Chains A and B, each alone.
Chain A
Amino acid sequence: MSVAYKTVTWNRNKILYDGVLAVAVILYLFVFQRLAPRFQPVTLPYDDNTLAMDAYGSCAFLMLSIILCIGPLARLDQRFLPALYNRRHFGVLTCAVALFHAISVIFWYFAFSPVPPANALLFANTSYGQVLGFPFEGFGILALLTLMVLAATSHDFWLHFLSPPIWKAIHMAVYFAYACIVSHIALGPLQTLTNPAFGIIAFSAVTSVAVLHGLALTKERRCERQTADAINEPHWVRAGSLDSLAESCGLVVNFASGERAAIFRHGGKLSAISNVCAHQNGPLGEGRVVGGLITCPWHGFQYNPADGCAPAPFTEKVATYCLKLQGRQILVDPRPNPAGTYVEPLIISEA
């Protein structure tokens, strides 16, 4: 990226996304605070602070569950791609809600502690040898710290500064944070549950995350097994039929080497570039050609089909591949050209 960094590059879609998120969170907190007291036993009524604490905590848990479901849902059905577009703002908001939960806990349980609240939080319960009454707060602290690191490194600067592999590795810690939150809930609120509703909701959320990841992984494995057919001509493999490739759409080809190319049909021509977006490894082959440029379905990064270069002033570039036609069959050379190499688009002769 060569343009100057901005705090947030706002556009209509991001404003809409964030607006819907903010309304949904406010609505959840409002509805929770109205409904939850009705399910409490009369002998153990909710006080305002505990109610706010539970509202923030359950909201953060459900938000993180939804965030983790968006990835596999988008892999399984392209209609969920818009939810993926601004997921990092979703994550930052989740961290903020979790922080409100932590603050409300500290200021309710440790407000009058003779020692500093942070010390009291760490030392109030040290019964690590038992399940019932386990100091579940530790898992909450670990989850919150992890979410804070993820939120604090969500700006694109970090992706470029740390390099995509390191950034991606750090952000995979979202699963660690989720495991910590699940442990925090299982060893904490679920132990003293007075109404099974939250237990059922929590179980459904965790199951949904697990099942959707399993389904997406199965689909991915199935795609990986469908490698391009080798043919008699050296260095060329059969990618598929021209008839199966719609205008402005992509066709993903798996090579025996494990690499993938994305072939696009655009304006009566064919071009092939790497399937991996230089931004966040998004699947370019699942994107479309918009305004003559291949557009990543994840965050809208664009590349010229002929040379795999992002339009100026951006500097990202990906590898290109050579193509040829054999009747209606598209053949592709699996050896990638260096990133940014111009390859004359293959003209489709309809005769």
Chain B
Amino acid sequence: MKAASAIILMLELYASIGLLVAALFLTVGIGRIDPSAAHAYAFRFLILPGAILLWPLVLSRWLKLARQQPNQNR
């Protein structure tokens, strides 16, 4: 039973971090790295579950695309 509790605790921790990353990404990051998302707001609710589930990937792509952005503007 301890193992099950540990698994559930890890999942809850993962989802909590995911919620934080998703909230930041969908409010601050998304409009900066994708021009098509800059003035589109309704669809962000639709991508919220994906951002929570895949937050490590979201974070890594967000950082990568954000680093590329200044180079593209030069």
Contact = CB atoms under 8 A, between A and B. Distances in A.
A20 interface: no
Contacts of A38: none
Interface in B1-29: 1, 3-5, 7-8
B1 A123 contact: yes
B47 A123 contact: no
A161 B22 CA distance: 14
A2 B40 contact: no
Given A119-B5, A123-B1, A152 B49 contact: yes
B23 to A, nearest CB: 16
A160 B34 contact: yes
Interface in A104-138: 115-116, 118-120, 122-123
Interface stretch (A4-12, A29-37, A222-230, A331-339): A4-12
A148 B15 CA distance: 14
Interface residues of B, number: 26
Nearest to B7: A122
Contacts of B38: 4
A3 B8 CA distance: 41
Interface residues of A, number: 26
Interface string B33-66: 1111111101101110110011001000100010
B4 A122 contact: yes
A157 interface: yes
B44 to A, nearest CB: 8
A118 B12 CA distance: 12
Given A1-B36, A6-B40, A119 B46 contact: no
Interface in A72-97: none
A6 B42 contact: yes
B36 A4 contact: yes
B43 A155 contact: yes
Nearest to A123: B4
B54 to A, nearest CB: 7
B70 to A, nearest CB: 18
Nearest to A160: B34
A7 B35 contact: no
Give me the 4 closest cross-chain CB pairs, A-B, nearest first: A152-B50, A123-B4, A122-B4, A152-B49
Given A2-B36, A6-B40, 7 more contacts: A5-B40, A123-B1, A149-B54, A152-B54, A155-B50, A161-B65, A162-B61
7 contacts: A116-B8, A122-B4, A122-B7, A149-B54, A157-B34, A160-B36, A166-B57
